[in-house]
Amino acid sequence: MLRYLAGYPPALLAQVRALIAEGRLAESVGRRYPEGHEVKTDRALYAYVGELKARYMRNAPALAKVQYDMRLQAVRNALGTHTTVSRVQGGNLRAKREIRVASLFKQAPAPFLKMIVVHELAHLKEREHDKAFYSLCTHMEPEYHQLELDVRLWLTALEVEGVAGG
């Protein structure tokens, strides 16, 4: 049930279980992130990613393609485990320099879309989820770690409560 949260401290997992038992996980995440976004099309996503890339990663390789991917829409494919979040999550096909974002992020709070995009952009430079990778992520988004946790909570809520917050 908590596979998106593998690797997080037991005390945190206990809190999450309590919220799930009360049916309040989605609400507790959604309340903190009321702001949606207008990045609903592939074209808009391409522009959104391009803006972040131009700002923080001008020297990274050009992107051939940026798109939402319905095949990644199943919640189970949206994000991997804490230590092996990888190509399934945003489907970062490094060889072709594409970024794919699971379509369910069209409905995500704005900061969650940013977290996923930052994660995938960082992979243009850093392949592994190591210190260099996360330092690049927090350079682009100072709240990266909190956001990644909250994205995982949101995905968990989608799975167990079937709603995306609120």
Binding site for Zn ion (CB under 5 A): 85-86
What's the closest the beta carbon of residue 44 comes to Zn ion, in angstroms? 23
What's the closest the beta carbon of residue 121 comes to Zn ion, in angstroms? 11
Residue 34 or 61 with smaller CB distance to Zn ion: 61
Cβ atoms < 10 Å from Cβ of 6: 13
Residue 22 or 128 with smaller CB distance to Zn ion: 128
What's the closest the beta carbon of residue 1 comes to Zn ion, in angstroms? 23
> How far is it, in rounded angstroms, from Cα 106 to Cα 118?
16
Residue 31 or 145 with smaller CB distance to Zn ion: 145
Residue 86 or 156 with smaller CB distance to Zn ion: 86
> How far is it, in rounded angstroms, from Cα 71 to Cα 91?
10
Q: Count the alpha carbons within 13 Å of 109 in the hemisphere toward its beta carbon.
A: 24
Residue 29 or 85 with smaller CB distance to Zn ion: 85
> How far is it, in rounded angstroms, from Cα 166 to Cα 157?
11
CB nearest Zn ion: which residue? 85
What's the closest the beta carbon of residue 161 comes to Zn ion, in angstroms? 26
> How far is it, in rounded angstroms, from Cα 147 to Cα 16?
16
Residue 66 pairs in a beta bridge with 99
Q: Where are the beta strands (DSSP E) in 21-83?
A: 65-69
- The torsion angle over the Cα atoms of residues 110, 112, 115 and 116, rounded to 10 degrees, is -110
What's the closest the beta carbon of residue 86 comes to Zn ion, in angstroms? 5
